[in-house]
Structure 1
């Protein structure tokens, strides 16, 4: 059966209003998109604009189990949450209004749906409970997938199975996201069934919404990702009576914007987003394959940045990070996701920061003033607890050797509340036989499998620095070209994966700029300098060279070329470069370009020499063999 679905229509003079759509879910859809977050919306937009042709009434549709679009940004929100990526690397390529706060980004997504007339094709409060492949002998017109959908009621429960909705489709785009099911580690004495009346209360961060939950409590935050840093910071300001943060191996802290450095008596307040500082030329464009495979650019960048951080802040572990650091051999963008929620660092640093007066005269990081009314403005770093005893006390093992200076684990930690900021996991039990179980089984750029180009996983890779939405935009671009056989399967090596430690729970990290540039080359969307100069002039060429891997760059040419792209490059993207100033562009642009130009030129010369000498070496070897035979 088909029934009308409530969808959202933005009211022209106010917030989004819910209304009843006259559009019913069709029985057949050329493309079924599962999930209404940024990845789902951009997939729907591209499927409608650039996807294969479809019969009337069988166009692409998007289904979302919640009552609104927005995904994680809408349903995992909490008070004072902030975006940690810049507008330039969070917005889609051709729709660029401001969104300085997380709630504004949700409105941005709604506006995006309105701007491209997506609402009639979005069906809310529908959950896909199973997806199966139709036997080949029963496939008609390429409709090879059968989805069973169930209505989600207002209380979040599912409707009765007899009212299930059945839909067949030619291709499926899965955009359910990384933040699906809370990842809850089992800790003896806390949540393993052995807890006592004195065991602390606990929640997962998905249940955290405001400071009221933390006020006047002794709080132990477990996890040092961006959410963990946010919750620890909010605990101090609530205020909580005491705050601990449980850290496993460590984290790498950087502010989302570079500011508050005081050098020779002057405070730098440039507010430069760190995710837009990496330049294109010779770092992502015109990179020799040997250089790319060696990850030399990552290691050199990490080496230089660590020394610069020591000069500016007195520590190399992170930007003004004096505790909770990773092992020295794993401190860098090659290995981990940068933690860009740095507000809590001033409270973490308090027992450990030790900058000499002489160093401080030259340069230091200037923390904001301490909040008023906070009795203990310290976040006490401890290891992850092994268990809680019968009195509710957390039991810690000593911290790893590289963090031996941390002593808070020896003190009594008996929290009132434990907040598990331990991330999320994905579950694909609703997928039938023959489907990949996530991006790990997608051998084509983490998007799809070469065994079935009718199924895509969009938005499941996470950048070390950058944002998922523009990556999802390029992923759906690539998928549509592959599913229509418009381009061949990529064959170049995948040199964009972060070097995660073996056994790490998260293995889906990528270097943002390398990944984006790789997909652009796969699609024929990576512009050449001569091509840019010929069509757009020297100014666009200069912005492209000095800019980061902004998604709009990859719509200047190629199969998704946009008339809007050049205007965005000349204005908004030029502004990001201009804000660095002359000195910033010399150190962040010119010097790296010259260095990496030399490295890549050496690689090309060595390759040329190898190609020239190989025939000669082969002749000499064959000649010696012949002499032996004779």
Structure 2
């Protein structure tokens, strides 16, 4: 563990705050792309004694990535083809450590070094205007160790979404009046292993991926009884497509779902009117829900019979898919109602029940209003979940696990700084008023992974802050359509966001450039592949000589594994459909542009977005589309 009194410089070209994947990749690009004086090299400070961020410090027994290795790892340092599609969290932490060693970042990383205050100089001529106060968090350090002060030209904040536990106040549990007898409770950040749940009556509050994991682990512990408190609902979809029985044959392709969306006409060559309308999202939602009904008997999610969202908010346009699907067989048991006729043709095959399970049911209940005498008191669930009746029976847990997420704390940011990424109006990365401060890794994809988004954000920021690209003038259409009352407003569509940043940077390849520079095979993989970050290093300012080889091997493998039928339904048919939609929009655009001067009308007004536009992450209405 390094001592910031000794090893931290007094000034630096870039100060990266946070040692998770976002900070590590930001440091790598800072060292590779910026010019700086000797002794002012970019540095990273991390308050913990080891790197890894949430993947190390929020890990628990049996935790795995819910995004695939193909989409989660960085563009130029890949997992081997033989590795599991969804590595364990300790394995991913080891991947990050190997990344640090591969790119020789270790000497620029300072552990046990926490930024407790960041102030901005009032001297307009001060090039190193960011003044950071860094505290030594090494437990072995003396209490009287003085903080270290660093002056930075640029600051990259990568402290992550999972920082301070979000603990709702629930009367009778952790707020007055407390229940008698008191009920034990923990936040999911304190959950480590299955043994904590064994033989207990467990109430899990929160139906995100962590909540689903803890519910599943409770059944297998085994717990005496398990309830799952669902506030609004969730959308379940397995992280891999397999275990479908179709016309007598079992499909067990084990295809990661985050690699199934194709590029051509969904992210590349999309007319701005089509992007602004979010037509691609609504059409895919409509089709996927019907396919899910055909295969599993329900449209609420993939083999999801309880805890569903309202029908009008089910789909990729609105929510984060819950890809921790192992618990669904236990949640479904009281509600599954597929007819024998339907099941004869299509159905989802649940894995066999583990040995030693006392009660193979997770009882879905609403979020508790309060606790009285050790018993949860519920309001009835919303109307669309009226079939859920477990809340009417006694729910008397002896352990409550709050899987209620996290919040961010920005009190350490001084005056003049954006108070978090919601105040960043430039692609959610920085504020146009000060492009020397970046927030990287704070947007969350509906389907996809944060690390490759952080890599693209770092690329974008260092081009922007050095004046190599202008502040983007085109509008964004990548934010999920959040409910206004939702706690989380930072969701984005992964592929839309990645392709937008690529266009901003000049890294989005045209089909002509792909064919002429890399050949037809790479072009084919790009069209049929998902928004892998390596695609955006085939051309442009971050062009990599390793990218074509990765595309021809690993990324082609994601397409090969779909098979002929899979590529027909997941590739060819969607491409043809969206090609027609985009072509029609283009024709209307051209005709209207030609006719507008004659008619005395402003160009592009035909498909202008309406006043009732969806909100962006900062809560402001998205402006009218000007083009992508």
**Same-fold status (TM-score > 0.5):** yes
2:243 to 238, 257, 260: 260
Q: Secondary structure at the match of 1:343?
A: helix
- 2:98 is aligned with 1:111: yes
- Kept after mapping to 2: 8 A contact 1:23/1:120: no
2:524 to 542, 546, 550: 542
Match of 2:440 in 1: 458
- Kept after mapping to 2: 8 A contact 1:217/1:241: yes
Q: Secondary structure at the match of 1:298?
A: helix
Taking the aligned partners of 2:307 and 2:108, their CA distance within structure 1 comes to 47
Correspondences of 1:71-470 after superposition (within 5 Å): 71-98=53-80, 100-137=87-124, 139=126, 142-154=127-139, 160=143, 163-389=146-372, 391-470=373-452
Taking the aligned partners of 1:176 and 1:159, their CA distance within structure 2 comes to 25
Match of 1:39 in 2: 22
Taking the aligned partners of 1:197 and 1:119, their CA distance within structure 2 comes to 52
Match of 1:602 in 2: 584
- 2:438 is aligned with 1:484: no
Instruction: Return the TM-score normalized by structure 1.
Output: 0.93
Shift of 1:134: 1.4
- Kept after mapping to 2: 8 A contact 1:180/1:425: yes
Change (3 A) 1:243 1:54: same
Taking the aligned partners of 2:314 and 2:427, their CA distance within structure 1 comes to 26
- Kept after mapping to 1: 8 A contact 2:5/2:148: no
Match of 1:5 in 2: 2
User: Higher Cα Rg: structure 1 or 2?
Assistant: 1
- Kept after mapping to 2: 8 A contact 1:261/1:268: yes
Shift of 1:163: 1.1
Taking the aligned partners of 2:137 and 2:123, their CA distance within structure 1 comes to 32
CA RMSD, aligned part only? Answer: 1.4
Match of 2:605 in 1: none
Q: Secondary structure at the match of 1:31?
A: strand
1:59 to 41, 64, 83: 41
Shift of 1:238: 0.3
- 2:567 is aligned with 1:567: no
Match of 1:586 in 2: 568
- CA deviation string 1:398-427 (max 9, x = no partner): 000000000001000010000000000000
Q: Secondary structure at the match of 1:354?
A: coil
- Kept after mapping to 2: 8 A contact 1:302/1:333: yes
For structure 2, which runs of at least 5 residues remain unmatched after alignment? Answer: 602-628
Match of 1:496 in 2: 478
Shift of 1:197: 3.7
Q: Secondary structure at the match of 1:344?
A: helix
Taking the aligned partners of 1:312 and 1:23, their CA distance within structure 2 comes to 62
Q: Secondary structure at the match of 1:104?
A: helix
Match of 2:616 in 1: none
Shift of 1:161: 6.1
Shift of 1:491: 1.2
Taking the aligned partners of 1:196 and 1:137, their CA distance within structure 2 comes to 57
- Kept after mapping to 1: 8 A contact 2:370/2:376: yes
- Kept after mapping to 2: 8 A contact 1:380/1:408: yes
Shift of 1:106: 0.3
- Kept after mapping to 2: 8 A contact 1:27/1:167: yes
Taking the aligned partners of 2:128 and 2:425, their CA distance within structure 1 comes to 24
Q: Secondary structure at the match of 2:177?
A: coil
Match of 1:13 in 2: none
- Kept after mapping to 1: 8 A contact 2:5/2:147: no
- CA deviation string 1:335-385 (max 9, x = no partner): 000000000000000000011111111010000001111121100000000
- Kept after mapping to 1: 8 A contact 2:297/2:342: yes
- CA deviation string 1:211-235 (max 9, x = no partner): 1110000000000000000000000
- CA deviation string 1:310-332 (max 9, x = no partner): 00000000000000000000000
Shift of 1:486: 0.4
| Runs of 4+ with deviation above 3 angstroms | 158-162
- Kept after mapping to 2: 8 A contact 1:440/1:446: yes
Shift of 1:48: 0.2
Match of 1:626 in 2: none
Taking the aligned partners of 1:299 and 1:618, their CA distance within structure 2 comes to 33
